[in-house]
Each structure stands twice: as C-alpha cells, then as structure tokens.
Amino acid sequence: MAYIRKRNRRIFLIFLLPAMLVLFLTTIYPMIYAGYLSFRSYDLAKLFVPRVFVGWSNYAEVIGSSEFIHSLITTFKLMAMTLSVQLVLGVGIALIVTQKLPGMPLARTLLMIPMMISPVIVGLVWLFLYFPELGYLNYFLSFLGIESIPWITSTNWALWAIAIADIWQWTPFVMMGTAAALQSLSPEPYEAAMIDGNSRWDVFTRVTLPQLKPVLVSLMFLRAIDAFKIYDIIFVLTKGGPGDSTEVLSMFIYRQSFTFWRMGVGAAASFVSLVIIVVLITLFFKSLQREQHA
Amino acid sequence: MSAITLNNVIKRYGAVQVVHGVDLDIEQGEFVVLLGPSGCGKTTTLRMVAGLEDVSGGELSIGGRVVNDVAPKDRGVAMVFQNYALYPHMTVRQNMEFALRPMKLPKAEVDRRIGDTAEILGLSELLARRPAQLSGGQRQRVAMGRAMVRTPDVFLFDEPLSNLDAKLRTQVRWEIGKLHQRLGTTVLYVTHDQVEAMTLADKIVIMRDGHVEQVGTPEEVYGNPRTTFVATFIGSPSMNMIEARVDSGRLVAAGLSAAIPARFADKVSEGQAVTLGIRPVELKIASGDEPGAMQAQVEVTEYLGNEALLDLRVGSHELVAEVPADQRADPGDMIHIRLNEAAIHLFDTASGQSLAH
Amino acid sequence: MTRPGLQQKILIYLLLAIVLIVFLTPIYLIASSSVKPSPIMFQRPPAFFFTPTLEHYQDLFGMRPFGKFILNSLIVALGSTAFSLTIGSLAAYAISRIRHKRMNDVAFWILSMRMFPPIAVVVPYYIIFKATGLLDTPFALIIVYSTANIPLTVWLMKGFFDEVPTALEEAAAVDGYGLLATFWRVTLPLAAPGLAVSAVFCFIFSWNEFLFALMLTGSNAQTATVAVMSFWSSDAVQWGRIMAGSFIILIPGVIFVLTCQRWLVRGLTMGSVK
C-alpha cells in the first residue's frame, strides 16, 4: 500500500486528471456560463436588442415573479406527495417481498422493471392510461366504484396524475433499497424478540425501523434530488398545464428559455435551482457519512 | 558477503515511528525468522525488504547493493504472501508464468522451470486448475511455486502458514524446511508462532514494539534469553517470573528464597531488584526435607498425557510446573517443589536485561 | 423472522398479487398494445385474446427514419459508454488506491456532478453547442451523457477496485510488474464484472434519456425517445406506433433487470445501501 502510495502517486493523479477535466468542462463550466448569462439580457425573441449586462435584474424578475414562486411551491408539493407515498408503499412492499417464501426473489426482480424504463415511456404509457374518454384507468377504477376522474385535464387532478406516474416508477427504488437493508439485518434481535414474546408491530417499530432509518433517510434524499429534477414525465403528460397547475421549476426554466427565448431569465432561475440542489446534495452526503461512521 | 543487511532501518508513518532502527545481517543461504507478537514491526520490516514499504531512515542492502530506492521488481526477491495473493483469474500454470514473464525467458526455459517446480511441490496434476479449485494447502504450495520459479536471491515469507489448520501447518512447515535445505536460498520469514521459528530458523530475530530484542540461534534464544520479554515469549508454557531482591547473598521474594547461583554471584549487588526466571520443567517435585524445598499448594492440574501442568501457589506467587504425568498431584494438595538451580535465569528488574552477560 | 402461518401466507400472496398487477400492468399494456389492431386499442373490456398484428412495427420502420433514430440512440449510448468507462475507471482506480483524507471529498465531488438538474445546464449547452456547430450531432449527446455516466462509473468501479486485494498488486510488484502492467493484467481483469455493470448502467441511462436529446438534436441526430414522443401530436395520436416504439425502447432496460438485478441496488442507491 505504501509502495503504491508514494512511488505511484503521480501516475494516479494522471489517472484522475481526464475525469476531473471532462467534468469541469462539461458541468462546472456550463454552470459558470449559466451564472454569466443570468446577469445579461439574452433575449432571443428580441434579436436586435443588444445582450447587455443587466446586473441582478434577471434575479429580481425571477424571484419577484409569482410564476416562479408558484413553480417552486409546485415542485415541493409534488416532492412531498411522491416521497411520502413512495416511502410508505416501498417499505410495505419490501416487507412483503423479503418474506422467505417461494416466488419472492422473482417478485423482487419483476418489481424493479419500472425503474429502468425511460421516463418518456413512463409518461406515454400513463398518458395512455389517463387519456380522456379512452384511457383504461378510469375503466379499471369504475370496478372499485370510483367515478370517472379528469386526470390530466383538471387543475385539481393533474399534479396527482404526475405524482402517480412517478410513484409507479420509483416506489420500486425504495422497495429495493429497503429490501436490501432488511436482508442485511442480523436475525438475532428478531430471535430474541420472538423468545421474549413481543408483538409483530412492536418488533417492527422498535427493532426494524430504527435499524432501517439511516438507509431510509438516504433513499429519501436521493428521491428528493430526483424529484427536484423531474421533467420528462411532466413534459409528456401535461407540459405544465392545465393552467400552471403542474408547472414545476424545471418546466418554468424550460418555458422561459425555449418558449419565450428569455435565456437570461432562464439562467437566473437555473442558478436558484442549483443553490437548492446543492443544499440537498450536501445534506445527502452528510447523512451518508453519518451512516458510514455509525 | 551478506545476502541482506539492515543498517539502523527506520519506518515512520507520518509522526508515528513503528520500526526503530533495526540492525540485521543475514548471511547467504541463511534461514532467518522474524518473530514477535502482532504489531511488533516484523511484517513492516519484511515489507521494507520487499520494497512494498518505503524505508524512512537507515540503509537496506540486498546482495551488497543499497536498495532503499529500488522498486520491488528490481530487487531480486520473491515473496509468499499471508493470504497467498494468487491471481484468481489465472490457472496455477498461468500464475507461475505470470511471475516469469517480466524475466523474458525463452519459452522452453519457462516450461522447464514450471515443470520442475510443479514436480518438486507436487503440483503437476493441478497446473490447469484455478486457485478457487484448490485446497488451502495446495494454494500455499502454488504461492511458494510462484516464488520459486523465479529462482530469486531471497525468499520472503509473510506468515505463510497462518491460514492453514493445525495439522496441515505442521506438514507444510516441514516441507518448507526441506525445500530450504534443497535450494539453499536465503530466506527471511515472518511469523508470530514460536514453534515455526524454532523448527525452521538458523537464526531468530525477536522483535517487540519496533525494536530487536535478541538475535540468535533457536538454542540461544531459548537457553539464554537476553531480556525478560524473550524469556517469557519463547517456550511454552511460559517461563515463571518471580520478582525478587538480593538480600544478604540470597534471592528473597515474598514467601520464598533461594541461594544465588554461583555464576551470578558477581553480577548482582546487595539490595538490587531482580527478576528470577525458571522454566516450568525446571520446577521439580521434592520431598519436604530436601534443602531448598518450598511448600506449594496445587490449584489446577492439567493432564497432557506424558506430562502434567500444575498451577501452584507458592507464598504469594503463582507458578507453573511441568512434571512427569505420574508425579502429578490433585488440586488442593500441598506438595514440595524445588528450583533447579542450574536453570535459573536472572534479570535486572529495572532494565529487563539478563544478568548472565 | 417468524415463519408465517397459512392464513398469513394467503394474505401475503394476496397483497403481492395486487402489487404485481399494479406495477406490471403498464408494462403489459405497452407490449400488448404494440401488437393490438388499432380498432380494438381501447375496447372495453380490454381484449386479452386477439390476433396480434405487426402493422404498428411495419408503420414504424416503414417510415425509414425510425431505424435511423434507433441507430442514433445506439451510437450515442455506445459512444458515451465507451468514453465514460475509459476515463471513469482510471479515475476510480486512482481514488480507490490513493489513501488520502481528501480523496473522499474528491469522490463525493465527482458523484455530485451527477445530481445537478439537467435543465439548469441545458441553456448553456445549447448556446455552447450552437456556437461550436455541434448542435444536432451525436457528439454533443455523447459529451453531455458522459457528465452523468462518468460519475456513475467512478462510483461503481471504485467499489469494485476496493474489493481487489492490494496483496495481489503487491505480488505483481514483487514479481516485476510496474503500475500500469499491474493495473492492466491483474486489477482490471478482476474488476471485469464492475466494468460490465457500469457499461450497462451507462448504456441504459443514455438510451433512455430524453431532455437533452430533445433540446440538443434536430432531424439529424434525433434519438429514439424523442422520435417516439413526436408521434404524439395533437391532431392524431398514433398510439400503435407509440407503443411499438416504446416497447423497442424498453427492451434493454428489462433485459438488464432480469439478468443483473443484484447490481441494481449498488448502481442506483449510491452507496446508501451496502
């Protein structure tokens, strides 16, 4: 180890360099560029207006606009809806599929499929299910006595329509992570509880959950980071509508930049979103490090 | 010319020094064992010889050449690792071939060496197998074979037997000894097992806390330990150590006293705190009226077949005696014992150094 | 855990059945609708037994570009995979072997690059690629996807390199091999499963990606995901074609899940689950 450490350190730094360089050029540099744009008027719709330095005015416009605030609230609302359901469902399903019964490994595998499907395809198949008049979802629900729901055409339901598609795709993620954690738990506390005669519920809340907690926290952070970036499913299902009922932050940025061609404003909004994501990522790594030290 | 010379070799990790100036001379063809408890710096020393650790201070020579800054591959050494370090994705033959490749030998020579080595080690039938398909003992032999094909100037062994079960360990130990006799290559061997050291070594280097405690033949380190550490580390069961004081020409300890053997007479001074060492076999059962006999209470008896170990309480001291099985006593018995005076070791308590020199 | 009794077993399997139906129905719908004749596409109750038709697939490939779009997807996915694997595994090896307290920070920094919202950098990408003439070329997407794939490769491969015992590398060093030869002949072959897993993850990510492909390509370099989406137009929704295209796109992901699901945990949870 020391041999490798000292004599070869220079070679290792050379190994590291290309990756660092590429990541800098393709991620950090564009971000800096976005920062630069956010201080300029870059309005492609007004071709003959010079692109000048405008100071904080893009930021002032973004932060002062009710649309932006609304999109931010919508983003967090969607995040809360999806994360809470994914957490409960994911843990519940994990408890089922980790039972030592025939067929469970296969069930676990099958349930992982949604995660590996392109979000566009997820959006399209749920569009197929939600489709007004034709979609099968309302037909299936009618058997449960639920009346026809205007999924993507009503401002009340559209956000739920998106949440359900996301829940469908990513509950397996929580399930998979929880199942892996469950299977790595030592059986001894359970055997002890069995001998002591604790109830199942007691065992679950007092023995299982506390041990799962660090993993669940990490999984939720990863979901939060992803939920913050959600884009494709919304693009397919509602494009932010009806009205602005599903206009999350990434849709806001998209519309400012590519519908209204106000790149400066889009960049300013992007930068605000970067700040938020940096906070989330930092919290995630903190929780991860805490877990590794524990 | 010495095969390996360590001249005040030091190893430091940052501010922490773990090997404090080791001096060692290894002759051509010698089998030298570095022995000591874990953390004593023996493996670090071996790895410095291999070139896997940088030398922080002092001078390390192999074959008369200073190799402090020479890469491991250019030192002419071969090493057998504790966990064998066999390449799992290669067959036995490929493992050996891989070790030979850098030497750029003609194909015929490579085949000859592998064939010969496999023959010697009884691996001929196993050449096409992968490490995962081998037993622990076989893997061990492949690791040795991989080192042997290179016909190095020096073999380095890092606790090569620690992953084998007791029976296999004895057998492989014997094979290593035989191999050394046959090849005559210089060997530097690290272990914490004193039996391995005693049976294999021409020369044992006993280390503790990064210092060399004693260098000597197995007979020397057993019969003439230089320090209390060596005295208690070598030999099983351990040597009994009794804190005593020189008082009016006698060795006096709580509840027992003994005459000072003549050979120590001019080495001690009145009032000096000394440690009296006596091996369990040198505690003899005596009758009550013999001169020097001491009363002892038997606390535990361990029957070992030919011998028995008696845990004795003599005054305030707890001593272990190894006696012929037919002389054993039962727990609770009061018996008499005497020290074999000729076998007494004396150490200066303050320094821990033997007084025999 | 306690062995469930018969009643509990029945309950467990009942719940499992519901879960499986909910999570697998959409996938079944994609597969079945892709071979369902258009007239019965939305028939109620849904037709389970019907004569399958390949008309949608013929439609799809009859309009020649879809083959080209799949080819674009393949070029971009394979290109980005090869590129990310090469520089990602080198970096991973360095991070795995350099013992330095800042190395953890470097690893986290690299990983965090994957977590930034794509939408936040799409504007700069658009402007940069437009300025350099790379807009609407596979090259642009290869670079962009690598920003996500390199961190993933580094993260995965670091784990695999960590598991290669350093004693093997030391043995090679004593046997006369330099660092590069040791890496190439000993370490990399032993981490080969990691390379395979990383490759599959990179491939699937690139293959599935939509946002960048939509923004940064036009008719020339358009990928399959964007093409499928383009069948969705307000006047006439061509569901048959959409489902046929969707089915083709989801095949690699499904194969991946069925063949190497045990690696999924490692690849997706970023070290939060061992």
Do B225 and B265 touch, CB atoms closer than 8 A? no
The whole-number pLDDT of residue C260 equals 75
Q: What is the CA radius of gyration of chain B?
A: 25
User: For residue B294, what are the β-bridge partners?
Assistant: B337
For residues A176-187, give the mean pLDDT. Answer: 85
C261·A112 Cβ contact <8 A = yes
pLDDT tens digits for chain C (274 residues)?
456 678 888 999 999 999 999 999 999 999 998 888 888 888 878 778 888 888 888 888 886 678 889 999 999 999 999 999 999 999 999 988 887 777 878 888 888 887 777 887 888 888 888 888 888 899 999 999 998 899 989 988 988 898 888 889 889 988 888 888 889 999 999 888 889 888 988 999 999 999 899 888 888 888 889 888 887 765 567 888 889 999 999 999 898 888 877 777 766 766 555 5
Taking each helix axis as running N to C, give the angle between helix C192-208 and helix C138-163, from 0 to 180 degrees, rounded to the nearest 10. Answer: 150
Instruction: Please give the mean pLDDT across all residues of chain A.
Output: 84
Q: Which domains does chain C have, with CATH numbers?
A: 6-54 (no CATH), 64-230 (1.10.3720.10)
Which residue blocks in chain A are alpha helix, DSSP H?
Answer: 2-7, 9-23, 29-37, 57-64, 66-97, 104-111, 119-130, 136-142, 158-183, 188-196, 200-203, 209-229, 232-237, 249-254, 263-293
Rounded to a whole number, what is the distance in Å from the CA of C211 to chain A's nearest CA?
A: 7
Question: Which pTM value belongs to this model?
Answer: 0.80
- In chain A, the percentage of residues whose pLDDT exceeds 90 is 23
d(CA C203, CA B23): 58
Strands B186-191 and B154-158: parallel
CB-based contact, C221 to chain B, within 8 Å:
no
A-contacting residues in C 158-187 (Cβ below 8 Å): 166, 169-170, 173, 179-180
CB-based contact, C179 to chain B, within 8 Å:
no
Whole-Å CA distances, A277 to A70, A248, B114, B229, C117: 18, 14, 60, 61, 8
Q: Residue A2's pLDDT band (boundaries 50, 70, 90)?
A: very low
Closest residue to A124, CB basis, from C4, C9, C242: C242
Two tokens, residue C62: 């009859």
The whole-number pLDDT of residue A4 equals 47
In total, chain C counts a number of residues equal to 274
The whole-number pLDDT of residue A258 equals 81
CB-based contact, C165 to chain B, within 8 Å:
yes
pLDDT digits over A200-257, tens only?
777 788 778 888 888 888 888 888 888 888 888 999 888 887 888 888 988 998 888 8
Two tokens, residue B213: 């405690």
The whole-number pLDDT of residue C1 equals 47
3-state secondary structure of B114: helix
Strands B240-247 and B57-62: unpaired
Partners of residue A107 in chain C, C-beta under 8 Å: 16, 19-20
Do C175 and B102 touch, CB atoms closer than 8 A? yes
Range from A103-112, B101-110, C93-102, C151-160 carrying the lowest mean pLDDT: C93-102
Closest residue to C173, CB basis, from B72, B89, B156: B72
Whole-Å CA distances, C142 to A248, C200, C223: 27, 15, 12
CB-based contact, C193 to chain B, within 8 Å:
no
Mutate to test the interface with C, among B94, B98, B154 (most CBs of C within 10 A): B98
Instruction: Please give the mean pLDDT across all residues of chain B.
Output: 89
CATH code linked to domain A66-293:
1.10.3720.10
3-state secondary structure of B156: strand
Q: Residue A65's pLDDT band (boundaries 50, 70, 90)?
A: confident
Is residue A289 scored above 80 in pLDDT?
no
Q: List the domain boundaries for chain A.
A: 66-293
Rounded to a whole number, what is the distance in Å from the CA of C64 to chain B's nearest CA?
A: 46
